[in-house]
Amino acid sequence: MRTTAAPLVLVPEVLPPDWLASVHAAADVGAFELRDDLDAVLGLELETRRRVVGLLTLLTRPVDAALLDAFPELRVVSNMAVGFDNVDVPACTARSIRVGNTPGVLTDATADLAMALLLSAARNLPAASLDAREGRWQTWSPTGWLGLELRGATLGVVGLGKIGLAVAQRARAFGMDILYTRRSDAPAPPELGATRVELDALLARADVVSLHVPLRPDTRHLIDAAALGRMKPSALLVNTARGDVVDQVALQAALEAGQIAGAALDVTSPEPLPPEHPLYQTPGCFIVPHIGSATRATRRRMAELACANLLAGVRGEALPHAVNG
Ligand code: DGY
């Protein structure tokens, strides 16, 4: 008689086991077999691939139709990120596969990083630090390393969702005036004292433009040459959203031409951005390696929420945070 093999659940190898405690506990009582080698499983025969019912994915894993077709019994893709542009959601929906993401738990960490980038760009920290280290700090200079004073300056938040709002609240505490765009009709909380404007007006008026839209077909290269051309020559661009929201070729040209004063990027296209990429050498530009949510507490919470989505999907229950209903 042919015995039915246990269902299989795949998680990324790089996640610490204690962040995945609930999934390990379910595997320990025999709910499924747990593996952390998706690429190896992809190379196995259909009989094994049919056993795969759940995937926990990182934003670095494209989840496309080809991957889904390799796992014909897949029930859930749990993406450990709030963004899910790496997942072909319509392809999942067409196959009745649920998709989960991890909103909320990374709002503060990402807003903190956006604020750190904003402050670093406003006060020239990367260049000033390099100058000090390389011997160009020769005196206290009244006109040296002058930056933007935040009190009274205007922040333009492109996409006032959870993270955009958290950035706006922080910037407000620094005395900045807030302009914003948002997709939903709901107004910003009144205590923010923020003004809703069209994107063109925001770009023309903001001293700092901070991007918080998800990557969708309509936001790809939202900040293109024309958008950059609307910004003030003194303006700074902060991107903690997705690299492809900005046309990087246009950004490089705008920085080189002095059309805008600086850019602080947590996200790029591609990721990682290769060390020889010209943006690293472009004046006024500095780049950090997609660390918006990189605090110990937040990454653990993201993993735990991703586990909750994964387990719910494997059990056929509603996901705590579903992207496709
Ligand atoms: C997300 O969750 O989408 C973030 O980019 C990860 O930091």
Query: In the predicted model, is pLDDT for residue 310 greater than 50?
Result: yes
Phi, psi of 249, rounded to the nearest 5 degrees:
-65, -45
pLDDT band, residue 1 (cuts 50/70/90)? very low
Whether ligand 1 lies within 6 angstroms of the CB of 105 is answered as no
pLDDT band, residue 323 (cuts 50/70/90)? very high
Whether ligand 1 lies within 6 angstroms of the CB of 210 is answered as no
**Closest C-alpha residue for ligand 1 atom 1:** 81
Torsion of CA 166, 170, 172, 175, to 10 degrees: -170
For the stretch 154-168, pLDDT in tens is: 999 999 999 999 999
Q: Please, what is the angle between helix 296-315 and helix 21-28, to 10°?
A: 40
Phi, psi of 290, rounded to the nearest 5 degrees:
50, 65
pLDDT of residue 4: 72
Compute the distance between CA of residue 158 and CA of residue 121 in angstroms, rounded to an integer. 18
State ipTM: 0.98
242 is catalytic: yes
Q: Which position among 290, 299, 301, 321 bears the catalytic label?
A: 290
CA of 150 to the centre of ligand 1 (A): 26
| Mean pLDDT value across residues 116-136 | 98
% of residues, the chain, pLDDT over 90? 98
The encoded tokens of residue 210 equal 């901070």
For the stretch 220-264, pLDDT in tens is: 999 999 999 999 999 999 999 999 999 999 999 999 999 999 999
Query: In the predicted model, is pLDDT for residue 2 greater than 90?
Result: no
Compute the distance between CA of residue 176 and CA of residue 148 in angstroms, rounded to an integer. 11
pLDDT of residue 301: 98
For the stretch 265-291, pLDDT in tens is: 999 999 999 999 999 999 999 999 999
Whether ligand 1 lies within 6 angstroms of the CB of 156 is answered as no
Q: Are 73 and 96 in contact (CB under 8 A)?
A: no
Q: Could you give the residue ranges of the DSSP H alpha helices within 211-295?
A: 225-230, 248-256
Q: What pTM did the predictor assign?
A: 0.97
Characterize the bridge pairing of strands 208-211 and 285-287: unpaired
Mutate which of 61, 82, 107, 299 for ligand 1? The one with the most ligand atoms within 8 Å of its CB, which is 82
What is the CA angle 267-15-44, rounded to 5? 100
Strands of 195-196's sheet in order across: 195-196, 177-181, 154-158, 208-211, 236-239, 262-265, 285-287
Q: Are 145 and 127 in contact (CB under 8 A)?
A: yes
Mutate which of 110, 113, 301 for ligand 1? The one with the most ligand atoms within 8 Å of its CB, which is 110
The structural domains of the chain, with segments of one domain joined by +, span 8-105+298-315, 107-287
Whether ligand 1 lies within 6 angstroms of the CB of 161 is answered as no
Question: Per DSSP, what are the bridge partners of residue 76?
Answer: 54, 98
Write the CATH number of the domain with boundaries 107-287.
Answer: 3.40.50.720
CATH number of the domain at 8-105+298-315, out of 3.40.50.1860, 3.40.50.720, 1.10.10.10, 3.30.70.1890?
3.40.50.720
For the stretch 149-205, pLDDT in tens is: 999 999 999 999 999 999 999 999 999 999 999 999 999 999 999 999 999 999 999
Compute the distance between CA of residue 130 and CA of residue 138 in angstroms, rounded to an integer. 13
Mean pLDDT of the chain: 97
Compute the distance between CA of residue 106 and CA of residue 167 in angstroms, rounded to an integer. 12
